[in-house]
Amino acid sequence: MNPDRFERIKRVLARRQPDLTVLMEHVNKTHNLSAIVRNGDAVGVLEVHAVYPEKGPDVSPHASAGTSKWIEIRRHPSVEASVRHLRDNGFLLLAAHPSAEATDYREVDYTRKVAVMVGAELDGLSPKGLALADEAVAIPMAGMVRSLNVSVATALILFEAFRQREAAGMYEASRLSPDRFEKVLFEWCHPELADFFERNDLPYPPLSDEGEALVEPGFNLS
């Protein structure tokens, strides 16, 4: 582990926002799924949530610029299950939906614990997803089309959240618990080792000041 890279990883992790996320319902194009993950990384999202179509896409390393390894994608079997998980963890569910009743996305307080719900490219969120949301938000538009590409719309909303949170000082110090910070730091620095210890139900070893895993002499992954 290069010491400069280790320091950069720690700085990025310290700015992650555990209470800002995205829920993708049936986003069915790989490049959009990957772009949303990339958008999330850009504003410090720690993890995103997804309900995949039956023949779901996967994140493209090229389209996401490699950010998929820095953001965990939590998969859920249904929109009901995903909303239940988020609500049980205290999230407010904001549905991105261009309706007359929706609130201008710039007028929403994103310093709260917020999950932005986005849907498939053509149809948007399902009626079930919309019914489960706490509030709908929309991006005002002056053209003939009623909505933007899902990844573009997500980017606009997330960067408004970034603007508000930065103004509120929410990026100035780590907002992760020390235990979670150390856990994610190990996973980012040593993903193969983390996978081995997880599969074998073993605790992660500590990291040195240079980011090296302090494993027992002779340790190997076999």
User: How much is the pLDDT for 69?
Assistant: 85
- Domains contained in the chain, number: 2
CA-CA distance, 36 to 50, in Å (whole number)? 11
Range with lowest mean pLDDT among 49-63, 79-93, 141-155, 187-201:
49-63
Q: Which of 147, 167, 187 is the last residue of a domain?
A: 167
* 127-154 average pLDDT score: 90
**The domain that contains 82 carries what CATH number?**
3.40.1280.10
Place of tokens 């992760």: 176
CA-CA distance, 222 to 206, in Å (whole number)? 20
Does the pLDDT value for residue 65 go beyond 50?
A: no
Q: Are residues 194 and 127 in the same domain?
A: no
Determine the length of the chain.
Answer: 222
Q: Are residues 137 and 151 in the same domain?
A: yes
Q: Can you give the residue range of the structural domain that contains 154?
A: 17-167
Does the pLDDT value for residue 43 go beyond 50?
A: yes
Q: Are residues 62 and 131 in the same domain?
A: yes
Q: Are residues 72 and 140 in the same domain?
A: yes
DSSP state of 68: G
Q: Are residues 90 and 185 in the same domain?
A: no
* 30-46 average pLDDT score: 94
User: How much is the pLDDT for 64?
Assistant: 42
User: How much is the pLDDT for 98?
Assistant: 85
Q: What is the β-pairing status of strands 72-75 and 103-104?
A: unpaired
Q: Are residues 79 and 97 in the same domain?
A: yes
Does the pLDDT value for residue 193 go beyond 70?
A: yes
CA-CA distance, 37 to 175, in Å (whole number)? 20
157 closest CA partner among 204, 207, 105 = 105
Q: Are residues 60 and 107 in the same domain?
A: yes
Q: Are residues 113 and 60 in the same domain?
A: yes
Q: Which two tokens stand for residue 45?
A: 């999202």
